[in-house]
Amino acid sequence: MSGAEIASRTPFAVDVEAGTDYWWCACGKSKSQPFCDGSHKGSGFAPIQYTAAKSEKVWFCGCKHTSHQPMCDGSHSRL
């Protein structure tokens, strides 16, 4: 994703709960990574909704360059 700040060069492991909505920070500015805290306001970015299909550990992208928002696709290894 062009223009997004790199929040982390590694993904964020999160234990998600089935049926729960999570809002992934797409801009990289949130202080509550990997989730949105509203820091994107006025930037042209918007958070991406992720609804957990089941309770499990998932890996949210930290570099904000993934092609599979909001999940890590290994893009951080090419930065």
DSSP string, 24-77: E-SSS--SSTTB--STTTTTT---EEEE-SSSEEEEE-SSS--SSTTB--SGGG
Strand ranges in 1-79 using DSSP code E only, listed in sequence order? 12-16, 21-24, 48-51, 56-60
Q: Which residue has the tokens 């998600």?
A: 16
Q: What is the mean pLDDT of each run of 10 residues along the chain (79 residues)?
A: 85 98 97 97 94 98 96 94
**pLDDT at 1 (0 to 100):** 46
Query: What's residue 11's pLDDT?
Result: 98
Specify the pLDDT at position 3: 85
Q: What is the pLDDT of residue 75?
A: 94
Q: Which residues pair with 12 in a beta bridge?
A: 60
Residue 33: its pLDDT value, please?
98
